[in-house]
Chain A
Amino acid sequence: MTNIIETFKLTKKFNGLTAVDQLDISVESGEIFALLGPNGAGKTTTISMLCTILKPTSGTAKVNGFDIVKESMQVRKSIGIVFQDPSIDDRLTGRENLFMHANLYGVPASEQKNRIDSVLKLVELEDRADDLMRTYSGGMRRRLELARGLIHYPKVLFLDEPTIGLDPQTRDHVWTYIRELKETHDITVVLTTHYMDEADRLSDRIAIMDYGKIIALDTPSELKDTLEGDVVIIKAANPDAVVSLVKEKMGLTQTHKVNGTVEVTVKNGKSMLPRIVDTATQNKIFIESISLREPNLEDVFLHYTGRTIRSDNSREPHGISAIKRRRIR
């Protein structure tokens, strides 16, 4: 496998704040690669640099063999982007938006009509293609943006939070499209998301990003396997007492308080359940309920950062305003 994207100590600072910190990643040709992390982790900044929208403060990267700083025009010809915020002209029809894109990216005039028809079919918007886009729903606009990103046959398709603000059914559709794309068009997909399920269902490999750094990078299943086992969920009147009990008396270090319950990651959950209850009883700590589940990516994130992915939403006002903007429309 060849690497279609490689970054070399890619760094971006905004007014002294390091948004992306000496990033070294490589993306293999033909895979779906997810950057997963909370708002403000530096995902969008990373993608913006790879798309040549932002210039790195230091370091560089290669996309499709071209340097993002020195050969930005070549990079631009190799990629397609679906931005986090909407980026269509809603005074034009869907088809007009697509034609415009085809022209901007130098798609031969003789091929334009065929390609546009086929991408419209792919996202099931043929019957609405000639309506002004201001009459489209949020999900339809998103699908058209996806279609648009494909007209010029990009080598790499960047999707920045592809399903943010969409309803569950549309999200499911979009995921199916992205999977199909990868199979039918032989392209590499790089997406950012802060949805665990999205990263899990879509991607071949996931890079977990936090404070501008990659803290873990592997396939979804490998990442979950690093947790080695099951998650025990304990509900108690005094969760802090349970945490210190489990950590100190039982030596189970992978213990976190999550939304008022206690979660313990252990190797053999089934045999651990009665032992936790016994120890608690001996120390006169009352447990309300106790249960067991398979680990998910949320646990992986918690494992590496000590935080849940949703607990820190304040660092990227841009992301939040984007969500708000979507809601207004």
Chain B
Amino acid sequence: MTELRGFYTLWFREVKRYLRDRIRIVSSFFQPLLWLVIFGTGVRFSGQIGGLNYQEYIFPGIIGQALLFTSMFMGISVIWDKEFGFMKEILVAPVSRVSIFLGKMIGDSTDALIQGTIVFFLALLLGIKADPITYLAALPVMLLITFGLVSVGLTIASLMGSLESFGAVQSFINLPLFFLSGALFPLTGPGIPEWLQIATRVNPLSYGVDALRTIILGSAWQFPLQPLYVNLGIVAVFDVVMIVIGTWAFSRMK
């Protein structure tokens, strides 16, 4: 019972802090907007991908990107808490590290999900066809994607000593994951070099983006990386591995 309450408390804190930070929420859909509107429109008129217009193609990818960037960035709250001492208050409480990690992780995932939702409905305004039912189907997939990514962010943050080193590691990880995820262009179609295909298949985000694309675009998407259930299975395995690593990282934090 205490564990559950500890978990809930930490989840609630993450969400409350996030919702209170209006600037962060508003600024969060600015970047996806740039990709969709400017980059998307520009490339749209230079060709099509598998019969889709480019904006339609990158739309699921941009949701994936929003989830990736927000999730990874969430780790910053750990650095913050360490810097301002609040982490000590949490770590000394009679609550297990597993509950602490899960509370924080699922709280941050909830925040990332809000972000992904904003991007989703942004697309409706741009005339990309997507309906509320598609959204409901995409929701659990989005959540599944964020669990693993948030865990990566939290793990890095708990091992890093400062804001600067956290930022440095982030930029090393975020962009490669993004570029190699198939968010912006297909990485598995004909004519794509072997090395790029391999790199894509190593990237867990590729399967998340591919799953989103399958759900959002339906049969219009002709080059899936894997069938939907295989995609989701791979993402789920990645989540479990990262949650175990993250819990370990939290348990050795002083």
Contacts and interface: CB of A to CB of B under 8 A. Distances in A.
28 contacts: A51-B92, A53-B88, A53-B254, A54-B254, A73-B94, A76-B93, A76-B94, A77-B94, A81-B92, A83-B85, A83-B88, A83-B89, A85-B85, A86-B84, A87-B88, A88-B85, A89-B13, A91-B17, A91-B20, A92-B16, A100-B9, A103-B9, A104-B9, A104-B89, A104-B95, A105-B93, A106-B1, A106-B94
Contacts of B219: none
A132 to B, nearest CB: 9
The listed residue with most A CB atoms (<10 A of its CB), out of B88, B92, B93, is B92
Nearest to A74: B94
Nearest to A109: B5
Nearest to B8: A103
Given A76-B92, A76-B94, A106-B94, A89 B9 contact: no
A298 interface: no
Contacts of A101: 89, 93
A92 B92 contact: no
A88 B20 contact: no
B60 interface: no
B90 A104 contact: yes
Given A53-B88, A89-B17, A104-B90, 16 more contacts: A51-B92, A53-B92, A54-B254, A76-B93, A83-B88, A85-B88, A87-B86, A87-B88, A88-B84, A88-B89, A89-B84, A92-B13, A103-B9, A104-B6, A104-B9, A104-B95
A101 B5 CA distance: 11
A156 B17 CA distance: 31
A96 B15 CA distance: 13
A204 interface: no
B2 interface: yes
Interface string A194-223: 000000000000000000000000000000
Nearest to A145: B89
A52 interface: yes
B91 interface: yes
9 A-B pairs with least C-beta separation: A104-B93, A87-B85, A76-B94, A106-B2, A103-B9, A87-B89, A77-B94, A85-B85, A103-B5
Interface residues of B, number: 25
A90 interface: yes
Interface string B79-102: 001001110111111111000000
A85 B88 CA distance: 10
A92 B2 CA distance: 22
Interface string B1-33: 110011011000100110011000000000000
Nearest to B89: A87
A148 B90 CA distance: 13
B2 to A, nearest CB: 4
A77 B6 CA distance: 13
Contact of A90 (B6, B8, B84): B84
A251 B5 CA distance: 68
Interface in A60-111: 73, 76-77, 81, 83, 85-92, 96, 100-101, 103-106
Nearest to B20: A91
Contacts of B84: 86-90
Contacts of A105: 93-94
A86 B254 CA distance: 16
B13 A100 contact: yes
A320 B254 CA distance: 20
